[in-house]
Amino acid sequence: MQKQSTSYPIIFFLVMFVVGTDTFLISPLLPTLIKFYGISTATSGLLVSAYALGYTLSALVAGPISDSHDRRKILLTGLLCFAGATFFCGLANTFWIMMLARLLAGISAAFIGPQVWGSIRLIVPQEKIVAAMGLAAAGLAVSQIIGIPLGSYLAIVSWRFPFFFIAFLALLLLGLCHVSLPSLNQANATPQLKFTAVYQELWYNQQARLSLLAYFIFQLGNFCSLSFIGTWFNKSFQLSVGQIGTAMILIGCGNLIGTLLNSKLVVFGE
């Protein structure tokens, strides 16, 4: 096992914080982007779909690739591409360019998340794996409490600033991961399945299918509600982009509490 360090879970927390901020940032910005691009509310939803589509298609490839290659190298590459794609979002002057930028951001993000969860299993002590995963997941919740409101406040000056800021943070994390994380090559540690065999094995596992279905339903409701909650706040309550970010702090607090309690419940159940 690689050299263990208490700093690894913190690094993974920061990685998920930045990815989570970018993922959910589009929600409070939608009312502003609707006006800037002159599009309808329904059309603005495609910006969410572009990110999700890029993430979904890329994740199908990223998983098997990650199992047979150095996760550290994939994480570093993903962060570099993620920073570039997010910076590109801030430069988008037309709706379709923004669509492309969000698609690329989603593709890049899909190569980051799996490395976090897979790396925890490799470099964190067995008895601390659940706690480390809980801390990494908390990064997503904290991104709603701090990251999204901060992005919303930056958007008061210009909607481009939040994307530039996230890109900058991603580059800082790239440097941190480069100097802190060890090589995470598990290709020779465990037998590797062929690309198609990975999904064949998954498909024939009934428990895995049910778990994936449940998670799909959860995320379906999660993204349907969060994606347009900023637009709802704006149209129904006339909240500004900064006020929307403040309102979303409460959502993030609930998410954080649930995430931290879940890891303790898992340990209790075992």
Q: For residue 194, what is the domain's CATH number?
A: 1.20.1250.20
State the residue range of the domain holding 88: 7-269
The distance from CA 10 to its chain's CA centroid, rounded to whole angstroms, is 16
Residue 33 lies in a domain: yes
Residue 167 lies in a domain: yes
pLDDT band at 269 (very low <50, low <70, confident <90, very high): low
For 85-131, how does the pLDDT look when each residue is reduced to its tens digit (9 = 90+)? 999 999 999 999 999 999 999 999 999 988 888 888 888 888 788 88
DSSP character at residue 1: -
Structure-token pair, residue 46: 């495609």
Residue 1 lies in a domain: no
Residue 2 lies in a domain: no
Burial tier of 238 (Cβ tally within 10 Å: 0-12, 13-18, 19+): exposed
pLDDT band at 230 (very low <50, low <70, confident <90, very high): confident
Rounded to whole angstroms, the Cα distance separating 13 from 17 reads 6
Residue 12 lies in a domain: yes
Residue keyed to tokens 């879940």: 262
The number of domains in the chain is 1
DSSP character at residue 157: T
Residue 190 lies in a domain: yes
